[in-house]
Amino acid sequence: MIPKCPRCASDYVYEDGELYICPECGYEFGKDEPKDLGLVVKDAYGNILKDGDDVVVIKDLKIKGGGGTIKVGTKVKNIRLCEGDHNIDCKVPGFGAMKLKSEFVKRA
Protein backbone atom coordinates (compact mmCIF):
# COMPACT_ATOMS: atom_id res chain seq x y z
CA MET A 1 0.00 0.00 0.00
CA ILE A 2 1.37 3.41 -0.99
CA PRO A 3 1.23 6.02 1.82
CA LYS A 4 -0.04 9.59 1.57
CA CYS A 5 2.50 12.37 1.11
CA PRO A 6 3.89 13.39 4.52
CA ARG A 7 4.17 17.05 3.44
CA CYS A 8 0.83 17.81 1.75
CA ALA A 9 -1.23 14.67 2.52
CA SER A 10 -1.88 14.04 -1.18
CA ASP A 11 -3.35 10.69 -2.22
CA TYR A 12 -1.59 10.76 -5.62
CA VAL A 13 1.83 9.52 -4.46
CA TYR A 14 3.46 7.02 -6.79
CA GLU A 15 6.35 4.58 -6.42
CA ASP A 16 9.59 4.99 -8.37
CA GLY A 17 12.16 2.35 -7.47
CA GLU A 18 13.10 2.86 -3.81
CA LEU A 19 11.33 6.23 -3.57
CA TYR A 20 7.80 7.53 -3.26
CA ILE A 21 7.13 10.75 -5.20
CA CYS A 22 4.32 13.26 -4.72
CA PRO A 23 3.33 14.95 -8.00
CA GLU A 24 1.44 17.74 -6.19
CA CYS A 25 4.23 19.19 -4.02
CA GLY A 26 7.26 17.46 -5.59
CA TYR A 27 8.36 15.82 -2.35
CA GLU A 28 10.36 12.60 -2.63
CA PHE A 29 10.71 10.24 0.31
CA GLY A 30 12.16 6.80 0.87
CA LYS A 31 10.22 3.76 1.87
CA ASP A 32 12.03 3.63 5.23
CA GLU A 33 11.73 7.37 5.97
CA PRO A 34 9.56 8.49 8.89
CA LYS A 35 6.06 9.20 7.61
CA ASP A 36 5.19 12.23 9.80
CA LEU A 37 6.88 15.59 9.16
CA GLY A 38 4.80 17.44 11.71
CA LEU A 39 2.44 20.35 11.18
CA VAL A 40 1.28 20.96 7.59
CA VAL A 41 -0.55 24.25 6.99
CA LYS A 42 -1.94 25.28 3.58
CA ASP A 43 -3.12 28.69 2.42
CA ALA A 44 -6.46 29.35 0.71
CA TYR A 45 -5.08 28.09 -2.62
CA GLY A 46 -3.47 24.89 -1.30
CA ASN A 47 0.11 26.18 -1.13
CA ILE A 48 2.07 24.80 1.80
CA LEU A 49 3.10 27.48 4.30
CA LYS A 50 6.18 27.38 6.53
CA ASP A 51 7.59 29.48 9.34
CA GLY A 52 8.99 32.79 8.12
CA ASP A 53 6.78 33.07 5.02
CA ASP A 54 5.04 36.30 4.04
CA VAL A 55 1.30 36.15 3.36
CA VAL A 56 -1.41 38.47 2.01
CA VAL A 57 -4.93 38.68 3.44
CA ILE A 58 -7.54 37.74 0.79
CA LYS A 59 -10.71 38.81 2.63
CA ASP A 60 -11.68 41.70 4.92
CA LEU A 61 -11.36 40.35 8.47
CA LYS A 62 -13.33 41.97 11.29
CA ILE A 63 -11.50 41.89 14.59
CA LYS A 64 -13.57 40.79 17.56
CA GLY A 65 -13.91 43.39 20.29
CA GLY A 66 -14.38 46.35 17.98
CA GLY A 67 -10.73 46.60 16.98
CA GLY A 68 -11.48 47.42 13.34
CA THR A 69 -11.00 45.50 10.11
CA ILE A 70 -7.93 44.03 8.45
CA LYS A 71 -8.38 44.97 4.80
CA VAL A 72 -7.90 42.77 1.72
CA GLY A 73 -4.31 42.99 0.46
CA THR A 74 -2.69 43.56 3.86
CA LYS A 75 0.75 41.94 3.76
CA VAL A 76 1.84 40.08 6.88
CA LYS A 77 5.53 39.25 7.15
CA ASN A 78 7.41 36.51 8.97
CA ILE A 79 4.54 34.25 10.09
CA ARG A 80 4.85 31.42 12.60
CA LEU A 81 2.74 28.28 12.34
CA CYS A 82 0.95 26.85 15.35
CA GLU A 83 -1.61 24.17 16.22
CA GLY A 84 -5.30 24.92 16.44
CA ASP A 85 -8.10 26.59 14.50
CA HIS A 86 -6.20 29.88 14.10
CA ASN A 87 -2.96 28.31 12.87
CA ILE A 88 -0.91 31.41 11.94
CA ASP A 89 0.72 33.51 14.66
CA CYS A 90 1.86 36.91 13.35
CA LYS A 91 2.06 40.68 13.74
CA VAL A 92 -0.41 42.49 11.49
CA PRO A 93 0.72 46.02 10.55
CA GLY A 94 -1.44 48.56 12.38
CA PHE A 95 -3.02 45.93 14.65
CA GLY A 96 -0.19 44.11 16.44
CA ALA A 97 0.18 40.46 17.41
CA MET A 98 -2.69 38.11 16.60
CA LYS A 99 -3.59 34.73 15.18
CA LEU A 100 -5.14 34.20 11.75
CA LYS A 101 -6.75 31.27 9.96
CA SER A 102 -4.73 30.02 6.99
CA GLU A 103 -7.89 29.83 4.85
CA PHE A 104 -8.00 33.67 4.69
CA VAL A 105 -4.46 34.22 3.42
CA LYS A 106 -2.34 33.42 0.38
CA ARG A 107 1.42 33.04 0.21
CA ALA A 108 3.06 36.25 -1.04
Is domain 42-107 given the CATH code 2.40.50.180 in the classification?
Answer: no
CATH of segment(s) 1-38 = 2.20.25.10
The residue with greater pLDDT, 39 or 33, is 39
Q: How confident is the model at residue 74, as a pLDDT?
A: 96
Q: How confident is the model at residue 96, as a pLDDT?
A: 92
Domain ranges of the chain: 1-38, 42-107
Tell me the per-residue pLDDT of 43-89, one tens digit each, with 9 for 90 and over: 999 898 999 999 999 999 999 887 799 999 999 999 999 988 999 99
Per-residue HEC secondary structure of the chain comes to CCCCCCCCCCCCCEEECCEEECCCCCCEEECCCCCCCCCCEECCCCCEECCCCCEEECCCEEECCCCEEECCCCEECCCEECCCCCCEEEEECCCEEEEECHHHEEEC
